[in-house]
């Protein structure tokens, strides 16, 4: 019998409790590789339900300037995909419940080899992957490899995704769907909750997977607004900024705790 994936289990639990998911994103190695796992534990302690761990890449095309700088800082520490997997394995020594998704780009996976990556991700305790620049037309092989190892493949949908392509992507997706609330990069633009509602309604005609909304979520107010019609909010840039601006690891954890705690409280009200 295949063990239930942590992502599926967490969303089922949240749905049963009538609560919204808080998905938090940090860049692995940002602030120093030795500080990533303590930051992950701080995210959980402050109210995060799922963690997206960013895999540093030299050309993170979907990211705004804040997360780009986070990638640059992490690369200065020579944080590789293998080191990200080691961090997840270390995190698992003390946390066997919180879902962890690796969010990154196709090049590091291709360099490692898709099958090697899938095996290593499973062995480290990863629950899923979100590969930003892997189009649906080319995602089949990785999708199969991840599925065979009980890992989930998370996909992005945007306001400009047409119905035909939306169906193609949701047919491949598992775990949850990440809806990008804005036209643009992470951290940019102005949220339009009504547009989010309309697009989530449209996506729900194609999939029963949980829908989480990200890009432009900065605080409890914006998280609550977008999650009203979705299953959760994804918070990234504001956390990466807090890590980047901190003068020490302790301050970084305190900053992250305050941000996540405020958003968690808003989602639970």
117 in a structural domain: yes
pLDDT tens for the chain, 269 residues: list them: 357 899 999 999 999 999 999 999 999 999 999 999 999 999 999 999 999 999 999 988 777 889 999 999 999 999 999 999 999 999 999 999 999 999 999 999 999 999 999 999 999 999 999 999 999 999 999 999 999 999 999 999 999 899 889 999 999 999 999 999 875 544 445 667 788 999 999 999 999 999 999 988 999 999 999 888 899 999 999 999 999 999 999 999 999 999 999 999 999 98
What's the domain count of the chain?
A: 1
In a domain, 87, yes or no: yes
Instruction: Say if 210 falls within a structural domain.
Output: yes
Answer positive or negative: Cα dihedral of 156, 158, 160, 164.
positive
Examine residue 1 and state whether it is found in any structural domain, yes or no.
Answer: no
Token couple for 49: 């339900």
Domain contains 26? yes
Domain-embedded: residue 35: yes
Residue position matching structure tokens 């990008």: 180
Give the domain extent around 250: 6-268
Q: What is the dihedral of CA 238, 236, 219, 38, to 10 degrees?
A: -80
Q: Measuring CA to CA, how many Å separate 94 from each of 5, 44, 128?
A: 18, 12, 19
Residue with tokens 């035909």: 164
Give domain status of residue 171, yes or no: yes
Query: Residue 13 falls within a domain, yes or no?
Result: yes
Tokens at residue 38, please?
Answer: 């303590």
Q: Give the CATH number, domain containing residue 59.
A: 3.20.20.70
């Amino acid at each position: 019998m295949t063990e239930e994936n942590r992502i599926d289990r967490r969303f089922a639990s949240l749905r049963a409790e009538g609560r919204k998911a808080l998905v938090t994103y940090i860049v692995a190695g940002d602030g120093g590789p030795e500080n990533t796992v303590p930051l992950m534990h701080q995210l959980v302690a402050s109210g995060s339900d799922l963690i997206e761990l960013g895999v540093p890449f030299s050309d993170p095309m979907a990211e705004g300037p804040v997360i780009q700088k986070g990638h640059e800082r992490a690369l200065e520490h020579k944080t590789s995909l293998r080191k990200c997997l080691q961090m997840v394995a270390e995190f698992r020594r003390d946390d066997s419940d919180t879902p962890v998704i690796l969010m990154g780009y196709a090049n590091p996976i291709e360099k490692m080899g898709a099958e090697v990556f899938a095996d290593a991700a499973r062995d480290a305790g990863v629950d899923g992957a979100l590969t930003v620049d892997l189009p649906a037309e080319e995602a089949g092989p990785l999708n199969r490899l991840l599925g065979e190892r009980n890992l989930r493949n998370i996909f992005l949908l945007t306001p400009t995704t047409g119905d035909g392509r939306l169906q193609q992507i949701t047919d491949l997706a598992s775990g949850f769907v990440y809806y990008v609330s804005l036209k643009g990069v992470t951290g940019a633009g102005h949220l339009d909750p009504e547009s989010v509602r309309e697009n989530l309604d449209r996506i729900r005609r194609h999939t029963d997977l949980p829908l989480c909304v990200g890009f432009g979520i900065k605080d409890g107010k914006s998280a609550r607004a977008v999650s009203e019609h979705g299953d959760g909010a994804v918070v990234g840039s504001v956390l990466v900024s807090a890590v980047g601006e901190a003068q020490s690891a302790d301050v970084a954890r305190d900053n992250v705790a305050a941000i996540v705690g405020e958003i968690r409280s808003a989602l639970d009200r």
